[in-house]
Chain A
Amino acid sequence: GENVEQHPSTLSVQEGDSAVIKCTYSDSASNYFPWYKQELGKRPQLIIDIRSNVGEKKDQRIAVTLNKTAKHFSLHITETQPEDSAVYFCAVLDFGNEKLTFGTGTRLTIIP
């Protein structure tokens, strides 16, 4: 099955600076890569996703880049704000079925 590694496990960033979280995966056939944000005690919520036919996608302060050759993808958050503090999970969807495998998570703390 798919193996997803996520780094770093914790990240502290000064408010206004950028944050980058990286994930690698093992199955080269995987074609869908979402990122979820989970605040304490709440449900995971999709913040951005990317498909394998696209190299980069941006939505306001959030961007995701995908390198299919190297099998890694990254989340970039610019101009960070206190409300960005949460746990972020990358995920990879197995090709041909609906099995979503999550990375181990990154606890992001924005320092005011």
Chain B
Amino acid sequence: DTEVTQTPKHLVMGMTNKKSLKCEQHMGHRAMYWYKQKAKKPPELMFVYSYEKLSINESVPSRFSPECPNSSLLNLHLHALQPEDSALYLCASSFYESLNADEQFFGPGTRLTVL
């Protein structure tokens, strides 16, 4: 399996809802990432997990809560979102060896709409 998968593909939620985005990879990668991408903009890093531990949080609001249950899975829990949080949420993974950078593989993304 050489892909990163994400579910759901599309999600519409109200500002009071709680939902979760899921990401999975079976390539033995030890780093996993969440990015947010607005229309016609580049992906912006939100979180990085290295060896299942949160290593980077790019000052993301607490209404976004990441979780890495194991080395293959990454979740993003959503609560009390705002309409401006509507975007494409991309998950990525890489092998991650410190100081030896390598390719990040992206999932297809979840298109989130907050009403």
Contacts and interface: CB of A to CB of B under 8 A. Distances in A.
Interface in B57-109: 58, 90, 94, 96, 98-99, 101-109
A105 B101 contact: no
28 contacts: A31-B101, A32-B102, A34-B103, A34-B104, A36-B106, A42-B108, A43-B106, A44-B90, A45-B106, A46-B103, A46-B105, A89-B42, A95-B99, A96-B98, A96-B99, A97-B48, A98-B31, A98-B33, A98-B50, A98-B55, A98-B56, A99-B45, A99-B58, A100-B33, A102-B42, A104-B41, A105-B40, A105-B42
Given A98-B50, A102-B42, A105-B40, 14 more contacts: A31-B101, A32-B102, A34-B103, A43-B90, A44-B43, A46-B104, A46-B105, A93-B101, A95-B99, A96-B99, A98-B96, A100-B104, A101-B45, A104-B41
Interface of B: 31, 33, 40-45, 48, 50, 55-56, 58, 90, 94, 96, 98-99, 101-109
Contacts of A42: 108
A104 B42 CA distance: 6
A63 B43 CA distance: 23
Q: 7 tightest CB-CB pairs across the interface, nearest first?
A: A32-B101, A102-B42, A43-B106, A93-B101, A44-B106, A43-B108, A46-B103
Interface in A37-91: 42-46, 49, 51, 89
A49 B42 contact: no
Contacts of A51: 101
Residue of A44, A89, A104 with most chain B CB atoms under a 10 A cut-off? A44
A93 B98 CA distance: 12
Contacts of A96: 98-99
A100 B58 CA distance: 12
Nearest to A43: B106
A103 B41 CA distance: 9
Nearest to B98: A96
A102 B43 contact: yes
B55 A97 contact: yes
Contact of B45 (A32, A49, A89, A100): A100
